[in-house]
Structure 1
Amino acid sequence: MRVFDPHIHMTSRTTDDYRRMAANGVRAVVEPAFWLGQPRTSPGSFADYFDSLLGWEPYRASQFGVRHHATLALNPKEANDPRCKGVLDLLPRYLDKDGVVAVGEIGYDSMTPAEDEAFAAQLELAVRFELPALVHTPHRDKAAGTRRTLDVVAASGIAPGLVAVDHLNEVTVAPVRESGCWAGFSIYPETKMSPPRMVEILKEYGTERMLVNSAADWGHSDPLLTVETGRAMLAAGFTADDVDRVLWRNPVEFYGQSGRLDLSETGTPESAYAGSSIARGGS
């Protein structure tokens, strides 16, 4: 089983996690910029963080044979802090860099006017830089937040196939599927989704445009729950090809639209997606 975790916060994980992931078939990851657990007080602190995501973390991952890419953004939670608004002016300097495969995480935390503004501005950046967008749906009032998310995405003009709407569940998957966006699911030990629940969703909705991630961060999370989901799929009667589609080929297809996905160190030729018909949202 080969695994590409399309949303995991390795900055908050240990090198032992990288070792365990590599031993269990995790060959590639995408790390989205997110809230670190305490407020940042200036755009400069984001610059240091972005530099780490593009420099130190890919190096650290490479020591264990894991290919690391990043998505960069002003995250929804900190979009509410006026001290961080300058990050929107900082982002264009970073979105041109190798290793940046999407704008994200963007979207909603509390669905405030400040979040509306930051979300729309960063979707415009995704269109301008011809990058996919990774969208965070709120943990509270998720159904309303997902509807509002899809309205903002539709108004932005970005192709739905370039958008992954993440942290979905049984209540929110249908409207995202109908919108043409990619559907993302975070598998957690106690909250969010579990491997058995994910299997039931895949039975109902199929494996196309489905992204399964661990979103592992500094909270109670597990970077091997993608692997556990693959095993649960096999136990439920899905084929090895189905598992490979969900855990490898789907994230490769989604992030390959950036034209910057490089999986050469994994021994897999999917970097060829950079020049394919899906490179800018085609099917």
Structure 2
Amino acid sequence: MLIDTHIHSDTRGLEDLELMAMCLDGVITLAHDPFEMKNVKVWEAHVEKLLNGEIERAKKVGLNLFVCVGMHPRAIPPEVDEALNKIRDYINHDKVVGIGEIGLEKATKEEREVFIKQLLLAEESKLPAVVHTPRRNKEEITKIILDEISTLNLKNSNIVIEHCNKETVKWALDAGFYAGLTVQPGKLTPLEAVEIIKENKDFANKILLNSDCSSNPSDVLAVPGTVLKMKIEGIGKEIIDKVSQKNALELFNLKV
């Protein structure tokens, strides 16, 4: 059983979803930034496409698809509070398993305010929060993200710090959060992900694997490919099972 915890299915062709269905027992698609969110209606249309069109599209090819809803830091509509109220409605959908993708891109005042509001909503809703970290200035922005979270005194530690690298993974794990390892060109290679898992094997119950399959160059089979590399490198079955499926099943309460 394998789970890809972070994709953007609406950017991929049906043949890619079918290929995922052949190799994965479940995937989680997240709200992102497919176009400029000029108003809340544009943002609503994006999220509702995930909840309606994408779930149905995945079903056609046998892919078990779950959804996280939220405001990506590059896709914040002007009517933030209205969007937050809509998220409260969306989380009642039986396929919604978390709040995401949220986080910071440039750490502007607006981004921080929206990030905090969504973290508090995740706390209120008792759902995991999936937190984006950017390609640029990753270390600097990740530190800001962790500082912002620490000021809130949240009881919910079910927070995933996404797209971690060798440096930031330690910060996320030390803070008690989950670390998302994204195997994608420009982020991590399969072997780099394997090395990070080896170095942090004592925290294997807090590591998640994903492909971030999107409109960027991506490998739809990044998770099974990395699992193969882990086996070749001699990583034990217990650790492989945790990072490739068990942690995801428990964190997102997935029914597969």
Q: How far does residue 243 in structure 1 lie from its aligned partner after superposition?
A: 2.1
2:190 to 189, 192, 195: 195
C-alpha contact 1:160 1:181 (8 A) present in aligned 2: no
Structure 2 counterpart of 1:32: 30
Q: Report the Cα offset of residue 173 of structure 1.
A: 0.9
- The match for 1:50 is 47
Note the alpha carbon deviations across 1:75-122, whole angstroms, 9 max, x for none.
Answer: 11123x636664234322212322111111111011100001000010
2:181 to 182, 185, 189: 185
Q: Normalising by structure 1, report the TM-score.
A: 0.85
Equivalent in 152, 158, 162 of residue 162 of structure 1: 158
Q: Distance in 2 between matches of 1:121 and 1:204?
A: 34
Letter in 2 for 1:5: D
Kindly state the Cα deviation for residue 40 of structure 1 after the two structures are TM-superposed: 2.4
Which residue, 59, 63, 66 being the options, matches 1:62? 59
Taking the TM superposition and a 5 Å limit, the aligned residue runs for 1:127-146 are: 127-146=123-142
Residues in 1 aligned to 2:89 and 2:213: alpha-carbon distance in whole angstroms: 27
Aligned to 2:65, the other structure's residue is in SS state strand
2:235 counterpart of 1:235 = no
Matches within 5 A, 1:206-217: 206=201, 207-217=204-214
Match of 2:10? 11
TM-score (norm 2): 0.94
2:146 corresponds to 1:153: no
TM-align CA RMSD: 1.6
Q: Match of 1:29, as an amino acid?
A: V
AA aligned to 1:151 is D
Contact 2:161–2:172 (8 Å) recurs in 1 = yes
Deviation of 1:262 after TM superposition, in Å, equals: 2.5
**Counterpart for residue 255 of structure 2:** 262
Q: Is the 8 A contact 1:3 1:226 kept in 2?
A: yes
* Runs (5+) with no aligned partner, structure 1: 264-283
Unaligned runs of 5+ in 2: none
- CA 1:129–1:226: 2 relative to 1, 3 Å: same
Count how many residue pairs are aligned between Structure 1 and Structure 2: 254
Paired residues of 1:40 and 1:84 also in contact (CA < 8 A): no
Equivalent residues of 2:126, 2:156 under 8 A apart = no
Equivalence map 1:93-132=2 (5 Å):
93-132=89-128
Structure 2 distance, partners of 1:198, 1:39, is 32
